[in-house]
A and B are shown apart, each in its own frame.
Chain A
Amino acid sequence: MAEAPLIIIKDVVKSYRRGNQTLPVLTDIDLTVPRGAFLALMGPSGSGKSTLLNLIAGLDAPDSGEIVVDGLTVSDLTESDLARWRAVHVGFIFQFYNLIPVLTALENVELPLLLSGLSRRQRREHAENALALVGLSDRLDHYPAELSGGQQQRVSIARAVVSDPTLIVADEPTGDLDRNSAEDVLNLMERLNLELGKTIVMVTHDPHAARRARTMIYLDKGVLSDAPQNPLA
């Protein structure tokens, strides 16, 4: 018997209001993501990839429709319940790393654990393990400004997994990296998926990055499909 999917998206509609104009972004999205998937969400710029990712991760709410993650209807949660839920269940990787500049690598990774009720020692231990996983054990006390882009992104991956979330979302994680660093980051994500069993949803418009994922879907003009409508996109 197949396991229940981790993410179920039903009839989701999302539009942005700018002044008195309404800009429809997602018109009628249905999507299920099985547990343990490594999904690449592709599509041209402005097609609503980030918007959809934010909805899945509970950073924004849909206009209508339902989003269920791990059995919980996140589209119904209040903002503070969402915050608490994110802290436990979702790890984030951004294009621009988004580390806190006044904290060291170790402190940045430790940061999400402040919300976990772990002791100081446990927090430190977990953070060190996560940084070891991404190969940065020798950079614990470096500040973000003292690290390369690739290293910063690896710190942010460590931060995303340190609280052991079920789901990891990544928005253009290699968008700002050179080829080699991008390769490191993709290798790491692959390991998170295969070795740690994390479900990953990765937004990218880089076909090279997308090929590393196990599933690809395309978003264009607010509609999802299994293959690009315009193969040159």
Chain B
Amino acid sequence: MLLKILWRNALRHRLRTSLTVAGMVVAILSFGLLRTVIDAWYAGVAASAANRLVTRNAISLIFPLPLSYAAQIRAVDGVRLVALGNWFGAYYQDPKNFFANFAVSADSYLAMYPELVFPEADKAAFMRDRKGAAVGAKLATRFGWKLGQTIVLTGTIFPGNWEFTLRAIYKGRDRTVDETMFILHWDYLNETMKEQSPHRADQVGFFMIEVNDSTRAAGIAQAIDARFANSRAETLTETEKAFQLGFVAMSEAIILAIRAVSFVVIAIILAVVANTMAMSVRERRREYAVLKTLGFTGTQIAGLIFGESLVITALGGALGIALTFPAAQAFKAAVGQFFPIFNVSRETILLDAAVSLTVGLLAAAAPAYTAARVRVAQALRKLG
């Protein structure tokens, strides 16, 4: 019956309650979406493996390293596998069609990335075809590409029209894997450079290194950089995670702002719910005094108020969470090309739920305290 009181009290001012619940829905929805955007930003970081290092030019990512470094890196103790690659930076048909495309040493690179899952036969076909391309399933779907089809990319860093035959389509091992990459053979790029602009041949944008023991990664990175210290092109080697974080760091201010906004939204809804609860409790001071008269304790009365507040925030929170999925889908459809991974994570949902609960409890705290301490004799005085 106390539940009945609690529930009916919540429905007493339909409009006020509906508006508060609606506010809660919007707040949780925005909070969830903003968190998902931040997650998308960090997706590359989350997907990175602890046993992979990236070596690049110490001055900047845009300066290359000599191909000869590959053998020297391979000789460093603890290095199991070395792959190399260049950011290819081409587009398909229209410069607006942005997606990641890399020229890589295919066999070592794919060996290092078991999270890219291929049908074996297609993978072999890609390996055999120097002008072949391997792409992620989402990218293939986006442009309607089929296996065996010829794809022409327009180069920006490496000018000209580049023709590839689509040989393989990979899927991610799990949801954190980017399925929008375009992979081509570094050899093809390098041989073309040898013919067209020899000074750009045998130049590598980055080396990917797999180490035997991820706990020794830091030491191995140091050993690699030491080997090239005071050389013509010094290197900077870091874990794949640190490397990805470096990208994210460029937009850190924006992320910080988004994060701040996501909490401001929660602070606002907390104020709204707290106000609703305070108004309701003020109106019902007399009823709570009656309950006390009948022998109900302050704790029981506080429970009623916490319960009512939680009904409101749980309702709003649940609706907000439910709406986050379609909203994220719509968001992804609109700007998905910039965020290859745009998933509403379990953590976000749990955080949504935790936030709803916290708002419910905090909003009720002050009104519950007041109501629990209501002085019966005073509250029941005539006309009170």
Contacts and interface: CB of A to CB of B under 8 A. Distances in A.
Contacts of A98: 286-287, 290, 293, 380
A86 B5 contact: no
Q: Which applies to chain A's interface (DSSP): helix, strand, loop or mixed? A: helix
Contact of A83 (B4, B12, B297): B297
A102 B8 contact: yes
A92 B291 CA distance: 11
Contacts of A96: 382
A103 B296 contact: no
B9 interface: yes
A196 interface: no
B381 A50 contact: yes
Contacts of A107: 1, 4
B2 interface: yes
A7 to B, nearest CB: 18
A71 interface: no
B9 A86 contact: no
Interface in A53-106: 54, 57, 59-60, 79-80, 83-88, 92, 94-96, 98, 100-103
A115 B295 CA distance: 8
Given A80-B297, A107-B1, A54 B290 contact: no
B286 to A, nearest CB: 7
B383 to A, nearest CB: 8
Interface in B292-306: 292-298
Contact of A54 (B12, B287, B291, B377): B377
Nearest to B7: A102
Nearest to B293: A92
Interface string B1-25: 1101100110010000000000000
B376 A59 contact: yes
Contacts of B292: 83
B5 A102 contact: yes
Interface string A99-131: 011110001001110110000000000000000
Interface residues of A, number: 30
Contacts of B382: 95-96
A59 B1 contact: no
Nearest to A101: B287
B294 A92 contact: yes
A83 B296 CA distance: 6
Contacts of B296: 83, 87, 115
B295 A84 contact: yes
A162 to B, nearest CB: 10
Nearest to A171: B380
A59 B292 CA distance: 9
Given A94-B380, A100-B287, A103-B5, A111 B294 contact: yes
Interface residues on B, range: 20 to 34
Contacts of B4: 102-103, 107
Contacts of B1: 103, 107, 110-111, 114
A202 to B, nearest CB: 16
B12 A86 contact: no
A101 B11 CA distance: 12
Interface string B356-379: 000000000000000000011100
B295 A102 contact: no
Contacts of A112: 294-295
Nearest to B11: A102
Interface in A31-53: 50-51
Choose among A86, A88, A100, A110 the residue with the greatest number of B CB atoms under 10 Å from its CB. A100
Interface in B1-53: 1-2, 4-5, 8-9, 12
Contacts of A80: 297-298
Nearest to B294: A112
A182 B9 CA distance: 31
Interface string A114-154: 11000000000000000000000000000000000000000
Nearest to A88: B295
A114 B286 CA distance: 19
Contacts of A111: 1, 291, 294
Contact of A59 (B5, B9, B293, B298): B293
Contacts of A87: 294-296
B12 to A, nearest CB: 6
Contact of B294 (A51, A60, A102, A115): A115
B307 to A, nearest CB: 14
A208 B2 CA distance: 39
A195 B40 CA distance: 77
Interface of B: 1-2, 4-5, 8-9, 12, 286-287, 290-298, 375-377, 380-382
Closest 5 CB pairs of A and B: A87-B295, A102-B8, A60-B377, A54-B377, A98-B290
19 contacts: A50-B377, A54-B376, A59-B293, A60-B376, A60-B377, A83-B295, A83-B296, A86-B294, A87-B295, A98-B290, A98-B380, A100-B287, A102-B9, A103-B1, A103-B8, A110-B1, A111-B1, A111-B291, A114-B2
Given A80-B298, A83-B297, A114-B2, 6 more contacts: A60-B375, A83-B295, A96-B382, A98-B287, A100-B287, A110-B1
